[in-house]
């Protein structure tokens, strides 16, 4: 897990959003979102489905006009200069962006043509892409016959052919096995080291841990934005407890009612509780024991990004209710 924050002061801003809003009728998909992404940063957008991640990316790629607010990518305004943006970004959409009835080389050549590459530059980039996708020896294989991991790398290579300074990856590792996923992220680290800004959405906590900074999105709003370490450091020491007990799912409502419990959630067959004071642990164990969920164990743990995420959503919904 390499999650080092870049020297934010030195690197110029490549992507910025100011009170960016997009609504579809009465539904507000993106609600006054503001952030800045520096050159070479791996910027993660974490949120469940429907949180507004894809809509934000589509606005930044110039595919969708913002309802209000503004955003710029590589120095160009998304609302008025989309044509300039399109030559300076790579976009790997959530849905498969390759033609499965074409071969590896045919796909590469097509996308290179779409980015207007030709001549010696074209040949050079094709060689680079085959190498990155590790498909030098399967140039004439139809894409539909490739394993998922290779397709994902090829799709990434396709949208990087024109060497864009920014690349937007919308849930790039869906349906790929863990090993291929890990190698895909190694590739992202390489890109970032070479100065490419990587903007990536995910709903996997493991992947979010590998980003330099993570933005938490929920119901169209940006709830928190920091490095993974910074987000987790927001908890006072000892306030995240892991509760092991019988019938954990049924114990959850009881746990949530106990005094001092800020929020609680089910993690597999265990419960995580965020409390206002580390000393609450003993009382919680006693209360659950009494309620018939013995044997009960309560241990303070290091918070994960998921704890951060759940608490942020919890706080936001309580705020919205009052």
Partner 1 sequence: MLAVAAKELLQLRRDRRTMLALLAMPVVLLLIYGFALSFDVRDIRLAVVDQSRTRASREVIEAFLTSGYFVRVADLDEPRPLNEMFDRGIAQAALVIPASFGADVAGRRPTALQFVLDGSDSQTANTVLGYARQIVNATGAGLFAVELRPPVVARPLVWYNPDLDSSLFLVPGLVAFILMVSSVIATALAVVREKERGTMESLRATPLVALELLVGKTLPYLLVASVAAAGSLTLAWGLFDVPIRGSIVWLALITVLFLAGGLGWGMFLSSLADTQQVAFQLGLLSSMLPTLLLSGFIFPISSMPRALQLISHIVPARYFISALREIVLKGVGPEVWWNDALALVAFGAVVLVLATVRTVRSL
CB under 8 A: which stretch of 34-42, 89-97, 267-275, 287-295 binds partner 1?
Answer: 89-97
Q: CB of residue 162 vs partner 1: minimum separation in angstroms?
A: 9
Does residue number 97 form part of the binding site for partner 1 (CB under 8 A)?
yes
> Could you say which of 32, 109, 182, 270 contacts partner 1 (CB under 8 A)?
109
CB nearer to partner 1: pick between 125 and 221: 125
Tell me if 102 contacts partner 1 by CB under 8 A: yes
**Of positions 31, 36, 106, 206, contacts partner 1 by CB under 8 A:** 106
The least distance separating partner 1 from the CB of residue 237, rounded to whole angstroms, comes to: 45
Task: List the interface residues with partner 1, window 66-85 (CB under 8 A).
Answer: 83
Under rule CB under 8 A, residue 62 binds partner 1: yes
**Contact pick of 5, 11, 63, 258 for partner 1 (by CB under 8 A):** 63
96 binds partner 1 (CB under 8 A): yes
Q: Which stretch binds partner 1 (CB under 8 A): 7-15, 45-53, 108-116, 204-212?
A: 108-116
How far apart are alpha carbons 96 and 250 in whole angstroms?
A: 40
* Smallest distance, partner 1 to C-beta of residue 95, A: 3
Alpha carbon distance 244, 297 (integer Å): 5
Q: How far is the CB of 164 from partner 1 (least distance, A)?
A: 10
Q: Which residues contact 164 (CB under 8 A, 6 or more apart)?
A: 87, 88, 89, 90, 196
Shortest Å distance, C-beta 161 to partner 1:
10
| Rounded-to-integer distance, Cα 275 and Cα 259, Å | 9
CB of 270 to partner 1, least distance (A): 38
Does 159 bind partner 1 (CB under 8 A)? Our answer is yes
Question: For partner 1, which residue of 20, 37, 89, 104 counts as binding (CB under 8 A)?
Answer: 89
Cβ nearer to partner 1, comparing 96 with 235: 96
- Total residue count of the chain as it appears in this document: 322
Region near partner 1 per CB under 8 A, out of 30-38, 104-112, 175-183, 192-200: 104-112
Long-range contacts of 235-240 (CB under 8 A, 24+ apart): 235/274, 235/303, 235/307, 235/308, 235/311, 236/278, 237/278, 237/300, 238/278, 238/300, 239/274, 239/275, 239/276, 239/277, 239/278, 239/300, 240/272, 240/273, 240/274, 240/300, 240/301, 240/302, 240/303, 240/307
Q: How far is the CB of 92 from partner 1 (least distance, A)?
A: 8
282 near partner 1, rule: CB under 8 A: no
165 lies in the site for partner 1, by CB under 8 A: no
C-beta of 62: minimal distance to partner 1 in Å? 8
Which residue's CB is nearer to partner 1, number 85 or number 243? 85
Applying CB under 8 A, the residues found at the interface with partner 1 are 61-63, 83, 86-87, 89, 91-99, 101-102, 106, 109-116, 159
């Amino acid at each position: 897990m390499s999650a080092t924050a870049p020297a934010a002061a030195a690197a110029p801003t490549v992507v910025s959003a100011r009170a960016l809003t997009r609504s579809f009728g009465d539904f507000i998909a993106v609600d006054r979102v503001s952030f800045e992404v520096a050159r070479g940063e791996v910027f993660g957008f974490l949120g469940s489905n429907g949180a507004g991640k894809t809509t934000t990316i589509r606005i930044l790629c110039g595919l969708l006009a913002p309802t209000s607010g503004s955003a710029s990518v590589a120095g160009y305004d998304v609302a008025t200069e989309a044509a300039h943006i399109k030559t300076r970004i790579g976009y790997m959409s959530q849905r498969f962006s390759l033609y499965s009835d074409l071969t590896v080389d045919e796909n590469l050549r097509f996308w290179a043509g779409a980015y207007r590459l030709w001549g010696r530059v074209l040949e050079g980039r094709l060689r680079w892409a085959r190498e990155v996708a590790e498909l030098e020896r399967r140039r004439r294989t139809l894409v539909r016959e490739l394993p998922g991991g290779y397709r994902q790398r090829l799709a990434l290579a396709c949208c990087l052919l024109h060497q864009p300074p920014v690349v937007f990856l919308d849930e790039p590792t869906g349906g790929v096995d863990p090993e291929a996923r890990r190698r895909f992220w190694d590739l992202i680290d390489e890109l970032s080291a070479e100065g490419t800004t990587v903007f990536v959405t995910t709903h996997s906590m493991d992947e979010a841990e590998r980003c330099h900074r993570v933005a938490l999105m929920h119901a169209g709003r940006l709830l928190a934005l920091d490095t993974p370490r910074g987000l987790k450091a927001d908890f006072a020491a000892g306030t995240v407890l892991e509760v092991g007990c019988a019938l954990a799912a049924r114990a959850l409502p009881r746990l949530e009612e106990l005094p001092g419990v800020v929020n609680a959630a089910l993690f597999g067959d265990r419960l995580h509780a965020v409390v206002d004071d580390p000393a609450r642990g003993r009382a919680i164990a006693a209360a659950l024991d009494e309620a018939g969920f013995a044997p009960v164990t309560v241990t303070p743990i290091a918070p994960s990004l998921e704890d951060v995420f759940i608490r942020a959503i919890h706080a936001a919904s309580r705020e919205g209710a009052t």
